[in-house]
Amino acid sequence: MSKTVGIGITGGIAVYKIAELLSRLKKDDIDVIVMMTESATKFVAPLTFRTLSGREVLTDLWQESQEWKVQHIGVAEALDLLVIAPATANFIAKMAHGIADDLLSTVVLANTAPVLVAPAMNSNMYKNAVVQDNIKKLRAYGCRIMEPDTGILACGSSGPGRLPEVGDIYEEIKRLLFTKKDLLGKRLMVNAGTTCEDIDPVRFICNRGTGKMGYCIAQEAVNRGADVLLVTGRSHLEPPKDVKVFNVWGAEEMCEVMLKYQPACDIIIGAAAVGDFKIAQVAEQKIKKQDDRSEILVVELVGTPDILKEMGKNKVPNQILVGFAAETQNLIENAQKKLKTKNLDFIVANDITMEGAGFASDTNIVSLIERSGEIKSLPKMSKQDVAMAIIDKVAELLKKN
């Protein structure tokens, strides 16, 4: 069955590169609907894309259409994938805030297909806090964001902001259109977020985990056909669609839920930032401070359950168990120790002190360490891509079972 891709082209010097992308897609017999903003037409005439796509290029929200009764709705419903490339800072802002004032932005709001965004702009614009915040919003909404390339830009400056290579965009489109369903019939359970341990009815202790990594793993597993259980501690993120969510608070509750469902799972991934300690005696009432602030509050901490270690004890044949090792020193040595003591099939190790890795970041730098001792170190990449690499490794192990 033929696939239909919508390519939304916004106004940037990289517009000319989309002609090559369109040509490659058409050679694969992929139907392409091109939509251009008014600014984009100032760089390349719509005639170029009409010739390559074999169909009319859409530029005007108000133009009459013979193909669709309501053009922007009809286009959105026809798409298997929507690609915004190049995506300018202005259009990213419009997407992030739901502004629909032209054809393309209206199609974005009406679209229900996956969305791929390839930013391209000046480095200072790309690094601007407002632009980064808008990109984070799009990720949270489920958009797939490609990291821009680094190099000499049209303005003469150098840095991140170049449109990703056409070949990379093409490969990402093919991956999103023809996602492998190698986890069909498998049940995967992943934990995410941070556990919280009460001090009193008002206060609690937790850590810096946000849930981003675990939520990305859940999304990737769903995309590849798995029945997914997400056991999540505290997180501000919206859970992925089509997963069964268990909201928990403390480490003990998380452990109980995961042990309960472990026998029914083929794959278990521990991505949550589980606290190692809890308060020995939780106060029944709010702990009050003295007006002169002279007192010192001393709390006794005791250990929490080691969830993965408990699951490692109960692991059944052919069940795959994966853990994370977030370390600040001796990364490989500490990760290998956890791999053995918790009876894991492989462990994802990351040094949270590295720039672009660890808590709250949209990217991560990890190494996949197997029981055999093989270590695969990955470059800095988005947590979505890290999730893909983890599920690839899981799928590889499933074939061997």
**Known catalytic residues?**
155
Three-state DSSP state, 37: coil
Three-state DSSP state, 62: coil
Tokens of 36: 């251009």
Distance CA 164, CA 150 (A): 9
Tokens of 59: 């530029």
Specify the amino acid at residue 161. Answer: G
Distance CA 112, CA 109 (A): 8
In 20-119, the DSSP E strands lie at 31-36, 81-87, 115-119
Strand partners, 376: 368
What is the separation, in whole angstroms, between the first and last Cα of the chain? Answer: 32
Specify the amino acid at residue 246. Answer: F
The Cα-based distances of 4 to 33, 53, 169, 228, 301 in angstroms read 7, 11, 16, 28, 57
Helix (H) or strand (E) holding 268: strand 267-270
Strand partners, 152: 158
Residue reference for tokens 């965004």? 117
Q: Which of 247, 171, 179 is nearest to 215 (CA)?
A: 247
Q: At what angle do helices 89-96 and 103-110 cross, to 10 degrees?
A: 40
Cβ 350 vs Cβ 390: under 8 Å:
no
Distance CA 351, CA 325 (A): 8
Burial class (CB in 10 A: 0-12, 13-18, 19+), 397: middle
Q: What is the DSSP letter of 134?
A: H
Helix (H) or strand (E) holding 24: helix 18-27
